[in-house]
Structure 1
Amino acid sequence: MNTSRHGRYGIDAPYVPALMAVGLLACLGVIAFTSLRGWWFSAGLVALLLAIYMHTTLRGKFAVWRNLLDARQWRGDEQVLDIGCGRGAVLLMAADHVPRGRATGIDIWSSKDQSGNGIDVTARNAQAEGVADRVELKTADMRALPFADASFDLVVSSVAIHNIGDAAGRDQAIDEAWRVLRPGGQLLIADISKGGQYRRRLAAKGISAERRSLGWRMWWGGPWMPTTLVSASKPLVGDGTEAD
């Protein structure tokens, strides 16, 4: 599979590194006038947190998702859905695995959640990555997906569902993701802070789900803001239909 990136994917939650940068400049400004040892420590800490955040948003998440997708057994004709696809970081890597399939991305295209986010930007990235022929983009709310039941072999989401402000809405998004997944299909949801809720929601539906850390490459500023992966497979019964 192609491991290089040719598109432009922006920065996640761009206000966060902007605030960190302002904090760093403030610390350096105080140091310039006072030369206090404590301020040097503060400036160094802010710089470290900013570096960790920028690594995750520009490199780390790509490496983690590449490993997750490469670990799957692909036929090449799967239907994939990315919920909250943004500028296509995960969507287009998935599309690279389905030369005879289709990768569909939905988003509300909020630039608050990702810098420069827009359906036209994602479409240009798909062209740049050479997968535009198998990519479809839609404007849609993840709480009410515009797809029939059992439409997709793989449903993914990367650091997106937590942007829904209320727990009930996040539960709706999990329900919808499971609804559109085909029997035998797989759900992969990477997110910060809300993974426990997603797993509990699936468990309430009788679904066995695994939750695990995705490691330092997806720390959003430090180990206190990790990304966890919630994964589940939709079971089959003997005749190939979904188990109750």
Structure 2
Amino acid sequence: MSDIRPDLRRPLGDYGIDGDFRVIPPRGHAVILALIGIALVTLTIRNAVTGAVTAAVVFGSFALAFALFVGSYLRASRVGKFEVWARVLGGLRLRGDEHVLDLGCGRGALLVSAAKLLPHGRAVGLDLWRADQSGNSPDATRRNAELEGVADRVDVETGDMRRLAFVDASFDLVISNLAVHNVPSREGRQAAIDEAVRVLRPGGRLAIGDLLHTNRYRGRLEELGMTDVERRSLGWRMWLGAPFFPTRLVTATKPI
């Protein structure tokens, strides 16, 4: 097998913006953010011109913090997640013949990245296709797989991560990025973790990146007897809004 690995940091597809767009569509979010930014800059300039230095400093600080928040969010969603997961997937040292399941695959950013490392394997993406990502749909995911040249090794399915329609020990690796926290109840999130462990083969591995509840994921995996359970920050590249919303990774291995 060749030692040459694809560069996962430079995707060819269109993977949208991560976020909750069930109530307000992406363009509405963009308009609201633009109006807030304009208002803060306007207030900063107006107070500076009129000699209200303290107010100008306050509004200027808010404007800068807001710009950093929006900038880090967009960078993480469009660029950072590819950089981070390239490192995570590379660290798994996949053989290339594994079967991989991506829970809450969205438009396929993580799914397609994994598929690029599976010339003799298979990657399955599962989602309910809610509007928690712009343009989220099975067709968008399949188009991205085609653009990236991995459509022949990718399957896209509609399903609930709390009730997986796969037999026990079906996958060598289960992955997920910013998806499990969307399950509304604690019991539901625990069921998703239980299902992920159930469909793993002995010796199989799990890697879940999320904004919330990662301590509980780790605790549940330890209760289920998983080994090498670890939780760590994915760093500034996955800050969805400066350091206020860091993404953490939980990894574990199923005992043989």
Q: Structure 2 length normalisation: TM-score?
A: 0.87
Pairwise CA distance, 1:9? 0.4
**Is the counterpart of residue 114 in structure 1 residue 133 in structure 2?**
yes
**8 A Cα contact 1:215 1:226, kept in partner:** yes
Equivalent residue in structure 1 for 2:192, among 173, 194, 202: 173
Equivalent residue in structure 2 for 1:77, among 97, 109, 117: 97
Describe the shift of the 1:233–1:214 C-alpha distance in structure 2 as closer, same or farther (beyond 3 A). same
Describe the shift of the 1:165–1:14 C-alpha distance in structure 2 as closer, same or farther (beyond 3 A). closer
Higher deviation after alignment, 166-175 or 66-75: 66-75
CA RMSD of aligned residues (A): 1.6
Matches for 1:1-244 after TM superposition, within 5 Å? 1-3=5-7, 4-13=10-19, 18=30, 19-31=32-44, 33-35=46-48, 36-37=55-56, 38-111=58-131, 113-208=132-227, 209-236=229-256
Pairwise CA distance, 1:222? 1.9
Q: Deviations over 1:61-85 (max 9, x none)?
A: 1000001111222221110000000
Higher deviation after alignment, 2-11 or 146-155: 2-11
In structure 2, distance between residues paired with 1:144 and 1:200: 20
Q: Deviations over 1:94-117 (max 9, x none)?
A: 001111110000001112x11111
Instruction: Extract unaligned runs of 5+ from structure 1.
Output: 237-244
Secondary structure of 2:243 counterpart:
coil
Pairwise CA distance, 1:224? 2.5
In structure 2, distance between residues paired with 1:151 and 1:230: 20
Pairwise CA distance, 1:131? 0.1
Instruction: Extract unaligned runs of 5+ from structure 2.
Output: 49-54
Q: Structure 1 length normalisation: TM-score?
A: 0.91
Give the paired residue count: 235
Q: Deviations over 1:192-214 (max 9, x none)?
A: 12100101111222323111111
